[in-house]
């Protein structure tokens, strides 16, 4: 389109949404049809360029689109529910680095959810130090042959595509020897197995790669540029995990509800608890509620300030607070339940995370308590978040790096 430099205001953007709804209404057509039309109208990621599901606007304006759709439709599709990793992390990476024909092929199908995406970065021996990963990609003519083991891959068992980070040159320092591939999950040699966690659920997978062949044009960026491409993906991950921004509807909501059911004003009454014990618990609940409210306000402030461009390290504040706070909230939840916290009603049948049956509030509280342990590990440990905050926002010096300028193959591992 020739008028791509013209700025579109809020009113015109809302007009475009109404034009979309006139053509394809989510209450009238199926999901794929609607989402495809939304993509074609440039309303999928408004900050993407025209022709790629966007209009070249600032990312903040996406909320106007979502808002206008919600105003006129009963059927609402949530990016997080349809294809969280693909829409939140895969698409920006494809948009920035993929060849033109892959953008055209992949972006609309990511947005419709026809193609589910997963991320294959972490390995058993490469967690926080993901750049030290060992999965090898070796050239074979125009293609690459990949061998290795990936871990903590959520939704890999349903994915059509994966973002794969593999080592193409072990003789270079660790960051320089990586390449970033688009992997077709139906390729021979891809073996996906559930990874059961502390709760007995498997939300994640282990993925074994045995002589998997990847065509040469599926490298994003160039050979050896994998780390830079991965940074784009990871910066978007921190935003995706940022959390709710409406004060009063934050993390503490479930704790307040639990108090109302299990606390002294609930059906159990004081239940043998002394006035002093209740006062202590009440203070602990309010303390965490305040922090939860402040997290919501902080997220709002970040959004207000973030006018354009890719998200920076500010997302790390929210990620760190949310992780640590949710652990404290779920721990206190068990304390409110009291002696019955000794009982785990549902047991621990090993199953896929999406297969669990409906649970009572109490059962949920116990499940959440266990699940929350991962909050400060997944998507970057709290320790890594603190490094990022201290080094990028406060400008403190980094740790001396013993693995810098050393060939990857010579770095001690274990």
Q: Please tell me whether residue 306 binds another protein under the rule CB under 8 A.
A: no
Stretch that binds another protein, among 13-21, 23-31, 164-172, 294-302 (CB under 8 A): 294-302
Q: Please tell me whether residue 253 binds another protein under the rule CB under 8 A.
A: no
**What tokens appear for 86 in the block?**
């693909």
Q: Please tell me whether residue 30 binds another protein under the rule CB under 8 A.
A: no
Taking Cα atoms as reference points, which of 273, 255, 256 lies closest to residue 264?
A: 273
Q: Please tell me whether residue 128 binds another protein under the rule CB under 8 A.
A: no
**What tokens appear for 394 in the block?**
């406060």
Nearer Cβ to another protein (222/386):
386
- Residue 244 CB, shortest distance to another protein, in Å, is 14
Q: Please tell me whether residue 389 binds another protein under the rule CB under 8 A.
A: yes
Name residues whose C-beta falls within 8 Å of residue 357's C-beta, 6 or more positions apart in sequence. Answer: none
Among 104, 128, 265, 360, binds another protein (CB under 8 A): 265
Taking Cα atoms as reference points, which of 85, 98, 11, 82 lies closest to residue 48?
A: 98
Nearer Cβ to another protein (145/235):
235
Q: Please tell me whether residue 289 binds another protein under the rule CB under 8 A.
A: yes
Q: How many CB atoms lie within 10 A of CB 167?
A: 24
Q: Please tell me whether residue 256 binds another protein under the rule CB under 8 A.
A: yes
Stretch that binds another protein, among 48-56, 73-81, 187-195, 382-390 (CB under 8 A): 382-390
Catalytic annotation present for 237: yes
Catalytic residue among 237, 262, 291, 314: 237
Among 300, 348, 350, 410, binds another protein (CB under 8 A): 300
Classify residue 106 as exposed, middle or buried by CB count within 10 Å of its CB (0-12, 13-18, 19+).
buried
Among 10, 15, 191, 283, binds another protein (CB under 8 A): 283
DSSP 8-state symbol, 174: G
Total of chain residues touching another protein, rule CB under 8 A: 40
**What tokens appear for 204 in the block?**
């994640």
Q: What is the secondary structure of 311-351 as a DSSP string?
A: --THHHHHHHHHHHHHHHHHHHHHHHHGGGGG--TT----E
DSSP 8-state symbol, 80: H
Q: What angle do CA 158, 235, 300 make, to 5 degrees?
A: 105
Residue with tokens 């896929």: 352
Positions marked active-site: 237
Summarize as ranges the residues that interact with another protein (CB under 8 A).
247, 256, 259, 263, 265, 282-283, 285-287, 289-291, 293-295, 297-298, 300-301, 304-305, 317, 320-321, 383, 385-387, 389-391, 393-400
């Amino acid at each position: 389109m020739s008028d791509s430099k013209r700025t579109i205001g809020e009113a015109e953007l809302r007009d475009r949404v109404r034009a979309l709804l006139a053509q394809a209404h989510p209450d009238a057509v199926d999901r794929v049809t609607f989402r495809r039309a939304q993509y074609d109208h440039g309303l999928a990621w408004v900050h993407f360029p025209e022709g790629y599901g966007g209009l070249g606007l600032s990312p903040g304006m996406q909320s106007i689109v979502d808002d206008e759709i919600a105003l006129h439709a009963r059927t609402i599709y949530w990016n997080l529910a349809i294809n969280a990793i693909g829409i939140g992390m895969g698409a920006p990476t494809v948009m920035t680095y993929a060849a033109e024909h892959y953008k055209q092929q992949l972006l609309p199908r990511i947005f419709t959810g026809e193609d589910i995406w997963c991320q294959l970065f972490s390995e058993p021996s490469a967690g926080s130090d993901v750049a030290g990963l060992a999965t090898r990609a070796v050239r074979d003519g125009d293609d690459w042959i990949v061998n290795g083991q990936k871990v903590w891959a959520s939704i890999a068992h349903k994915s059509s595509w994966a973002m794969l980070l593999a080592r193409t040159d072990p003789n270079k320092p660790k960051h320089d020897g990586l390449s970033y591939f688009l992997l077709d999950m139906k390729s021979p040699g891809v073996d996906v197995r559930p990874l059961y966690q502390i709760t007995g659920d498997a939300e994640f997978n282990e993925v074994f790669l045995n002589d998997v062949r990847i065509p040469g044009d599926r490298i994003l960026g160039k050979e050896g540029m994998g780390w830079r491409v991965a940074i784009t993906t990871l910066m978007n991950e921190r935003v995706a995990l940022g959390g709710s921004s409406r004060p009063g509807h934050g993390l503490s909501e479930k704790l307040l509800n639990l108090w109302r059911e299990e606390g002294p004003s609930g059906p159990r009454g004081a239940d043998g608890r002394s006035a002093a014990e209740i006062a202590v618990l009440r203070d602990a609940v309010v303390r965490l509620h305040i922090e939860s409210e402040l997290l919501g306000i902080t997220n709002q402030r970040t959004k207000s300030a973030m006018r354009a461009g890719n998200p920076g390290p500010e997302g790390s504040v929210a990620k760190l607070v949310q992780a640590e706070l949710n652990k404290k909230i779920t721990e206190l939840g068990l304390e409110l339940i009291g002696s019955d916290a000794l009982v785990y009603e549902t047991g621990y049948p090993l199953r896929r995370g999406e297969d669990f049956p409906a649970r009572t509030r109490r059962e949920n509280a116990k499940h959440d308590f266990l699940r929350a342990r991962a909050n400060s590990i997944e998507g970057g440990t709290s320790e890594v978040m603190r490094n990022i905050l201290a080094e990028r926002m406060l400008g403190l010096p980094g740790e001396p790096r013993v693995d810098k300028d050393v060939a990857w193959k010579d770095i001690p591992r274990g």
